[in-house]
Amino acid sequence: MIHGDRLKPLNRRTVRAGRYVLYWMQASQRTEFNHALEYAILQANELGKPVVVYFGITDKFPEANQRHYYFMLEGLREVASSLEGRGIRLVVRHGSPELGVIELARDACLVVVDCGYLRVQKQWRSHAAERLDCPLVQVESDVIVPVEVASGKEEYSAATFRPRVGKQLSEYLVPVEEGVPKADSLGLDLDSLDISNVDDAISRLDIDRSVKRSDAFRGGTSQARMHLEAFLDRRLDRYDDLRNDPAQDYVSNLSPYLHFGQISPLYIALRVEETGSPGRDAYLEELIVRRELSMNFVHYNRDYDSFRALPEWARRTLGEHSNDSREYAYSLEELEASRTHDPYWNAAQDEMKLRGKMHGYMRMYWGKKIIEWTASPEEAFSAALYLNNKYELDGRDPNGFTGVAWCFGKHDRPWAERHIFGKIRYMNEGGLKRKFDPDQYVRKVGGLVPSQG
């Protein structure tokens, strides 16, 4: 089912004669449970036209590097194969996405686009909407409840956001029906970048190659499904009580796949719901409330990647303590190289660099310590964002920006005042030891083999 609330016309053009309906895939990089793709198929069938799917690969996506491009292209290669099985052509163009869609739309009846919340994604859609001679319709498919339906403003915290989303869930937790295209687009003569060999495709891109691909995660919906099934079979039942133990493995490992839209959060939620597991509610809180709160933040706060995005009380209290003495102070270079006095922090940084994903509990500790060891809160915020976005496969997205901001007080409340932190929530080594065995975590990370890819 495709709710009308998921649809948003981005211009006022009328459907015209053309060779195909064009789906501009960018945020939802999958063929399963993809409302945008299914809407494009519905429209194409009504018009008696085939569907063409377009993806634009830019060398200049903010803060993206070789690690991210490998993961994305592994997923897109799978998308191409899956679409081919449905008689749909995937056209991949090397260039800024909004320029590529304008070119391909010259022969389109209308264009459908999925929905991303970052500044650059909004700019792409706005640029294209103004210049297309046919309709551009946005279809939101990477949240359970559409962002503007969930709330019409930036929410203060999960406590204010949760009831708003909760009352909408029953309406939106419904499967997506998979349509069958009536016309085939595989024979259309359209130039496309060959991504069948990911190494060759990567070699053609002018990108930052400073971070190597992750050996721990491979991109694609099939990989996402594998992680999901393993989580449901072996870890969901203990998720509520063991998810915050990074020495164990009781998380879903799905955040990289959600980041690239390689798996639908709706599909995950429906699979988790049907288990009846004791860990179900705790996981759905993270997947729906916490994750979609991050979309709310990025959508409504234009400063989401800036210290200015923090609540006023957080900026004030950090400012009042910005000149407090620091027992330890580290440069960005020392932090990046994992050269601190704290073996637990170093292990977290190493896990991120080696695997492309740090355990969520350690990511909170990691961010808090950067505040403590950096000359100013503004410098700390910039350092945390830089490192998170550079190494994490799930950085550079609403969850990533929100996770860093949370360490500085976003979506939190004032706590007891203390040195350096002011009223920002504090975390220390003793807290780790009360929750789990951090030395076991250090040993676990120490066993990782550096990526050579």
Which H or E run includes 114? strand 108-114
Report pTM. 0.97
- Please give the Cα distance from 452 to 450 (Å, whole number): 6
Q: What is the full DSSP assignment across 119-146?
A: HHHHHHHHHHHHH-SS-EEEE--SSSS-
**Residue that is written with structure tokens 């066993």 in the block:** 447
Topology, domain 303-446: DNA Cyclobutane Dipyrimidine Photolyase, subunit A; domain 3 (1.10.579)
Residue 126: count of CB within 10 angstroms of its CB: 14
What mean pLDDT do residues 8-26 have? 98
Q: Provide the b/e sequence for 286-297 (b: ≥16 CB within 10 Å).
A: bbbbbbbbbbbb
Say if residues 94 and 193 touch (Cβ distance below 8 Å).
yes
Q: Is 70 exposed, middle or buried (0-12, 13-18, 19+ CB in 10 A)?
A: buried
Average pLDDT, the chain: 97
CATH of region 4-142: 3.40.50.620
Quickly state the pLDDT bin for 452 (edges 50, 70, 90): very low
Q: What is the pLDDT of residue 449?
A: 58
CB 158 within 8 A of CB 411: yes
The answer to whether domain 149-177+220-300 has CATH 1.25.40.80 is yes
Residue 453 clears pLDDT 60, i.e. is over it: no
Domain residue limits, the chain: 4-142, 149-177+220-300, 303-446
Count of all residues that appear for the chain in the document: 453
Residue in this structure with the two tokens 């500044």, named with its chain if needed: 119
Q: Are 27 and 142 in contact (CB under 8 A)?
A: yes
Question: Which DSSP letter does residue 290 get?
Answer: I
Q: 128: buried, middle or exposed (CB in 10 Å: 19+, 13-18, 0-12)?
A: buried
Nearest CA-CA partner of 114 in 8, 204, 199, 186: 8
Average pLDDT over residues 243-255: 95
**pLDDT higher for 42 or 451?**
42
Mean predicted confidence (pLDDT) in 310-316: 98
CA distance 299 to 138: 15
Enter the DSSP assignment of 55. Answer: E
pLDDT in tens, 106-157: 999 999 999 999 999 999 999 999 999 999 999 999 999 999 999 999 999 9
> How far is Cα 411 from Cα 406, in angstroms, rounded to an integer?
6
AA letter at 254: L
Which residues are 269's β-sheet partners? none
Neighbours of 413 (CB within 10 A): 13
